[in-house]
Amino acid sequence: MSTNSSSEANVITIDVLKPYDLLYNGQYRYLDVRTEEEFKNGHVSVGDVLNVPSMIDTPEGRVKNPDFLEEVLQVSTKDDYPIVGCQGGGRSLNATIDLVDAGFKNVYNMGGGYLAWVQNGLPVAVVTDDPQTGPLSQ
């Protein structure tokens, strides 16, 4: 018996270099599913970048965000073109499966995640909190 779900078979994972072109040309949006803290410490900085954590930290540890799909649907539609990424690829694969199962049609999983993005020298941003100007992305 296979442990792969049928939804996982429907997920398209693309090499980390492909998202750069897709994001740069504007049709796709980057959906970072890492925690807010991870996102602030560094994230993809090409095109439209969203942060909706697929996992949340609780006193019991990190658990699946029960509001993930609802939060994604507040900032995008099922007809949008999201490229889903995380730190190393595991969370984004699971989040992409959830999006495919929910009816998203044009979704890609970014293989290797943010770590692969950085290793390939692609543009990143860091959010700093400045008391005078508020959160900034650099």
What is the set of active-site residues? Answer: 86
- 3's torsion region: left (phi>0), alpha (psi -120 to 50) or beta? alpha
Reading the block at residue 79, the tokens are 């007809």
HSE, CB side, 13 Å, CA atoms: give it for residue 39.
Answer: 19
Size of the chain in residues: 138
Instruction: State how far the Cα of 112 lies from the Cα of 134, in Å rounded to an integer.
Output: 31
Reading the block at residue 30, the tokens are 């980057």
Q: Give the DSSP H or E segment for 36.
A: helix 36-41
